[in-house]
Chain A
Amino acid sequence: MKNKVAITGNEAVAQAMKQINPDVVAAYPITPQTEVVQIFSSFVSNGQVDTEFVTVESEHSAMSAAIGASAAGARAMTATSSQGLALMFEMVYIASSLRLPIVFPVVNRALSGPINIHCDHSDAMGIKDSGVIQLFSENAQEAYDNMIQAVRIAEHPDVLLPVSVNFDGFITSHALDVLEVLDDDTVKSFVGRYQPEEYLLDAKNPVSMGNFDMYDFYFEHKRQQVAAMEAAKKVIEEVGKEYEAISGRKYGLIDAYRLEDAEMAVVVLNSAAGSAKGVVDELREKGMKVGVLKPRAFRPFPFEAVQEALKKVKAVAVLDRAETFSTLGGPMFADVRTALYDLKNDIKVVNYVYGLGGRDLRLEDVEKVFGDLADIIKTGRADKFVNYLGLRE
């Protein structure tokens, strides 16, 4: 393997940003994202990138500046975590509704309170309905690869939506991992030059963006965003294929691990999918037919791919690293269960909320989940469909 390096997730993402060499980065530091911005700003001050770095006073301003830059015609990025994303929330909707291809890493961290700096997906789930594309990354390699592909996905003329690249705070961001980086020229030619069809600084073709919509047009413009999300599914796959050609690594909407003949499956995002794969390998050796489904794209939700991957299993456990407080389990549970409902295969779908505030997901926890699924298959009953994994009951 050439260009193999041992770096942390944050270093990998900063490296990807360096190779993408965006026109504008506007960001505000927040744990655990800080290093991304800090390392990238050193690239700026060392003249290793041509980026205009805008130091802003908040995440709300960070996204606002990125929106302004992107609308003006620049390739713009920001980056954040947790409370930062929460403060950015209002502008995330503006970015997606203005159809601006802003790429921004989100280093997943719990939301206060109680105050906590560790990993869960509450921050990302807060913007799941905002119209941004959300890619999730199992490890530093995927975070790096997703960043580079995100640029192409966001800027595709059928899509034109912001893309957030999620990876787990501390677990991925601060852990040193071995990954392969592409050389600068390969990345440069893959992302290409950003040539927006329309932008504010195009004096010859004036355009007015961010206009006022009444009830007579707003609805139609929202429908356009849905169409862009729908188109994104195909674009994510196409860009993934192109990326495989330059990297040798496969990327699609989902990652189906040992699911071909599986009777039981766990659906889980980000780094926990890696731990689940480790458990699956062990249980397979004991003869259990188990597998893991890791959605890479969470928005748009690849329900067709999820249906296809899970249509033959008998029982599914969805692991959510976020609560909805709906008393109906986590956010991904609702989506997976909805996707499987129409299959009418009587697949039992249960939910486990795990890892809130950085609580470690232990291998025994995943083993327990598969044990529960085996019981459900044996008895044909799933009485309790929302469970808490690793919680002191």
Chain B
Amino acid sequence: MTPFNRNFGQGRNTKAVRLDMNWKELTKAGNIYEPGNAATYETGDWRTIRPVWNKDRCIHCLICWRYCPDASIISTDGKFDSFDYKHCKGCGICASVCPVHAIDMFSEDEIDRREEARKNEE
């Protein structure tokens, strides 16, 4: 039997689904073929309070890395490196579990205000 009318549901050829795709371009039944694609969804804009690292206090135990529900603690060579602010939702778990209080939570508003004030001073 010859296949026909197969121009819809692109299946495996479709990797990243985009909002501008029409029904013929989208994957069949909304199937997802790319593992770990949640990374493309940036949850950083959900955040209202931001974790800030206190370099002097940190003992690099990486308890924060283990507890972070969004894999937003980036470590390099077994040491704390930085926060992934594109995905960090600002839940504050890292600050709460830190045994040496090396993570402080600041309101995003407060940070914005401070940055503006600093810019004005310059």
A interface, CB within 8 angstroms of B:
97-99, 156-158, 160, 197-198, 205-209, 211, 213, 216-217, 219-221, 223-224, 227, 230-231, 234-235, 238-239, 242
B6 interface residue (CB < 8 Å to A): yes
Residue of B nearest to A209 (CB): B31
Question: Are the C-beta atoms of A160 and B33 separated by less than 8 Å?
Answer: no
Q: Is B26 touching A207 in the complex (CB atoms < 8 A)?
A: no
Q: List B26-61 residues whose CB lies under 8 Å from chain A.
A: 26, 28-33, 35
Give CA–CA (A211, B6) in the complex, Å.
Answer: 22
- B26 and A206 contacting across the interface, CB-CB below 8 Å: no
Q: Give the contacting residue for B33; candidates A158, A205, A239; CB below 8 A.
A: A205
Q: Are B4 and A231 in contact (CB under 8 A)?
A: yes
CB distance from A99 to the nearest CB of B (A): 5
B1 part of interface (Cβ distance < 8 Å) = yes
Query: With a CB–CB cut-off of 8 A, which chain A residues contact B26?
Result: 217, 220-221, 224
- Cβ contacts under 8 Å, B35 to chain A: 206, 208
B4 contacts A158, C-beta separation under 8 Å: yes
Q: Is the CB of A157 within 8 A of B33?
A: no
* Residues A224 and B4 in contact, CB atoms below 8 Å apart: no
B92 within 8 Å of A (CB atoms): no
Query: When A157-B3, A205-B12, A231-B5 are in contact, do A98 and B29 touch as well, CB less than 8 Å?
Result: yes
Contacts of B24 in A (CB 8 A): 227
A97's nearest neighbour on chain B, judged by CB, is B29
Would you call B17 an interface residue if the criterion is a C-beta within 8 Å of the partner chain's C-beta atoms?
yes
| In the bound complex, CA of A158 to CA of B3 (Å) | 7
Contact of A217 among B5, B17, B33 (CB under 8 A): B17
B interface residues, Cβ below 8 angstroms from A: 1, 3-6, 8-9, 11-12, 17, 19, 21-24, 26, 28-33, 35
20 A-B pairs with C-beta separation under 8 A: A99-B28, A158-B3, A158-B5, A158-B6, A198-B33, A205-B12, A205-B33, A206-B33, A207-B31, A211-B30, A211-B32, A217-B26, A221-B23, A223-B23, A224-B9, A224-B23, A224-B26, A227-B8, A234-B4, A235-B1
Within the complex, what minimum Cβ distance (angstroms) separates B5 from chain A? 5
Q: A198-B12, A211-B30, A213-B30 are in contact. List 14 more A-B contacts (CB 8 A).
A: A156-B1, A158-B4, A160-B28, A205-B12, A206-B35, A220-B21, A220-B23, A221-B26, A224-B23, A224-B28, A224-B29, A227-B5, A227-B8, A239-B1
* Set of chain A residues within 8 Å of B22, measured between Cβ atoms: 220
- Contact call A198/B11, Cβ cutoff below 8 A: yes
Residues from chain A with Cβ under 8 Å of B31 in the complex = 198, 207-209, 211
Q: Indicate if the CB atoms of A221 and B30 lie closer than 8 Å.
A: yes
Given contacts A209-B29, A211-B30, contact A216 B11 (CB under 8 A): no
B36–chain A nearest beta-carbon distance, Å? 10
A198 to B29, CA, bound (A): 12
A239 cross-chain contacts in B, Cβ below 8 A: 1
Q: CB distance B6 to A157 under 8 Å?
A: yes
Contacts of B12 in A (CB 8 A): 198, 205
Q: In the complex, what distance in Å separates the CA atom of A157 from the CA atom of B33?
A: 18
Interchain CA distance A208-B29 in the complex, whole Å: 10
Which of B4, B6, B29 sits near A99, CB closer than 8 Å?
Answer: B29
Find out whether the CB atom of B4 lies under 8 angstroms from the CB atom of A217.
Answer: no
Contacts of A219 in B (CB 8 A): 23
A98 to B32, CA, bound (A): 12
Q: Measured between C-beta atoms, what is the minimum distance from B17 to chain A in Å?
A: 7
| Cβ–Cβ < 8 Å partners of A209 in chain B | 29, 31
In the assembled complex, which residues on chain B have CB atoms less than 8 Å from the CB atom of A97? 29
Contacts A158-B3, A216-B19, A231-B4 given; indicate if A207 touches B32 (C-beta within 8 A).
Answer: yes
Instruction: State the Cβ distance, B2 to closest chain A Cβ, in Å.
Output: 9
In angstroms, Cα B1 to Cα A156, docked, is 9
The answer for the CA separation of A160 and B8 in the assembled complex, in Å, is: 12
- Chain B nearest Cβ from A337, distance in angstroms: 28
Closest to A213 in B: B30
Least CB distance, B11 to chain A, in whole angstroms? 7
Residues of A within 8 A of B5 (CB): 158, 227, 230-231, 234
